[in-house]
A and B are shown apart, each in its own frame.
Chain A
Amino acid sequence: MSNRRLRINEVSVEFSGLRALDKVSLTIETGEILGLIGPNGSGKTTLVNAITGQVRPSTGAVCIGDEEITALSPRRIALKGITRSFQQVRLFNDLSVVENVAATSLAKGLSLRAARQTARELLVDFNLSDFGDMAAGALNHGDKRRVEIVRALAGDPSFLLLDEPAAGMNETESDALLATLAELPASRALGILVIDHDMSLIMRLCHRLHVISSGKTIGEGSVETVRSLPAVVEAYLGTSETSP
């Protein structure tokens, strides 16, 4: 499993003529956290959608190891081991928190008892065990986000894609999330892709960064390398540094 990687090769996505992604290539290795950053509307979420099958790339390929998964349905891709969270939380609001999490492992074929057991264990790791029997819709925003991440993890994925996991969280919550996420790649042998606008979180959490702007890659590499790239500073970090 360790040599499996998620490879996105020259993926383009078009929405009725508008090119939202333009030949973006990136690789996520098992055991690493890759940060995907870029200004609003640069195509970050579209890239995640293209990987998980919500939108179909017009060209390019998405592969796990040697296996191409580009044309598969979202369900198949999820079962292949790529799970995700959403910018707008999408939980099963009227199911309990445990059931939300268990749904993923059930879909993978676990028994109800085993799925519930796994769900409860995962919830403990994320300090959510007190909420297990509550309806997911009744949680506060930060907890919903964490439940969504736990639900994605319950499928025992090889790759976890997190779309703004810390959005709407306060400092304490996002620090706690950062600590939990940082341990995941090693403890669960998985690769993580994180989108977030919180640069401090991204810089502390990620091993590598990939920057896109207007659908194109404008930089990639280690956190330090990316920070100093003139194109990146201009397109993204520059503006954020001058803002209050």
Chain B
Amino acid sequence: MDVGTILQFTLDVLNLGSLYALMALGLVVIYGILKLVNFAYGELVMVAGYTLYLLNGSPLPWLIMALVAVCMAVIGGITTDLVAFRPVRANSLTAMLITSFAFSTLLQNAALLFISPRARNVPLPEIFTQSVTMLGVIIPVRNLITIASAFILLGAFTLVMKRTVLGMALRAAASNFTMARMVGIPANFIITVAFAISGLFAGVVAMLWLGRIGAVVPGIGLEPLLVAFIACVIGGMRSLVGAVVGGYLLALIDVSFNYALPPDLLSFRDAFTFTMVIVILLLRPSGLIKGPDTGKRT
């Protein structure tokens, strides 16, 4: 294998892994506190996508449009909390699970009804279609943007979690929710913040994801949700680091099969990937990074 192939492989893994990691992190931020998978999470990607589509043709520069779209995903996240979770939070976990499914279906159908079941193109900046050549390898600039955005976002998130009052409150709430309330941390506020952060990750992923596929459909959220879920499961549901590790590992598996499988088997790549996931889970049933506490609600 020459240097060029190694570079290409590494960048492919980092590019895909960055998307997976951000997506997984958005899911785990909420799971950590509520011990619940937010199934309406994929729809936040959709909300950001359609916002970008609706802004198409406006005189705004793309970066502002993207910012508005990300903000809409954040608002979508907060709305998920207020509409689907807070009213039933005192009830059973099952109730929240069902409302999260219902909210997801509601959003998807709203997109079907008010926009269109067909794919809609979103505006993308020039730079997303450009590429650079390094060591004889052609690299799309958007891949480099994806990797850079992920590193910046992960770095900023780590800083917030470690160095700010908010981060500490979030970690305390994830560690022992009841106790966090008892020492005086405002529970509702912290949960809403977690949903906002989750929306932020979904929004950024949406921009980068759309940069790859160029169009938005009502069902666009399913794949990111599935990927995020699998990344969390193999990385460890209870740990933020686990989500990131899981994201990059899943990408490594995916890309490796992309490179290694003969062309006529390539269409079965997902089957190979999921087999690997099963193997990992057989060896490490609670994920690679074990969370410190049990998965029960506190």
Contacts and interface: CB of A to CB of B under 8 A. Distances in A.
Interface of A: 52, 54, 73-75, 78-79, 83-84, 90-95, 99, 102-104, 106-108, 111-112, 115, 135, 137, 151, 155
16 contacts: A74-B181, A75-B181, A92-B171, A92-B175, A92-B176, A92-B180, A93-B176, A93-B292, A95-B171, A95-B172, A99-B172, A112-B163, A135-B292, A137-B292, A151-B183, A155-B183
A73 B169 CA distance: 18
The 9 closest A-B pairs by CB, nearest first: A107-B184, A94-B292, A92-B175, A78-B184, A104-B183, A90-B179, A92-B172, A74-B182, A103-B172
Nearest to A92: B175
Interface string B150-187: 00000000000001110011011001101111111111
Contacts of B182: 52, 54, 74-75, 78, 84
Nearest to A135: B292
Interface in B215-263: none
Contact of B168 (A75, A95, A108, A135): A95
Given A107-B184, A108-B184, A115-B165, 5 more contacts: A75-B182, A75-B184, A103-B169, A106-B165, A106-B169
A159 to B, nearest CB: 15
B293 interface: yes
A78 B179 CA distance: 11
Nearest to B298: A90
Contact of B185 (A83, A107, A135): A107
B245 to A, nearest CB: 16
B169 A94 contact: no
Contacts of B175: 92-95
A75 B178 CA distance: 10
Contacts of A73: 181
A51 B284 CA distance: 44
A201 B164 CA distance: 40
A59 to B, nearest CB: 24
A90 B180 CA distance: 10
Contacts of B292: 93-94, 135, 137
Nearest to A93: B292
Contact of B165 (A90, A94, A112, A155): A112
B180 A103 contact: yes
Contacts of A104: 183-184
Nearest to A151: B183
A102 B181 CA distance: 14
Contacts of B178: 90
B183 A99 contact: no
A79 B171 CA distance: 20
Contact of A93 (B165, B183, B187, B293): B293
Of B178, B180, B184, B292, the most chain A CB neighbours within 10 A belong to B184
A75 B186 contact: yes
B172 A79 contact: no
B3 to A, nearest CB: 41
Given A90-B179, A92-B176, A112-B164, A103 B185 contact: yes
Contacts of B181: 73-75
A27 B175 CA distance: 34
Contacts of A115: 165
A99 B167 CA distance: 11
B112 to A, nearest CB: 42
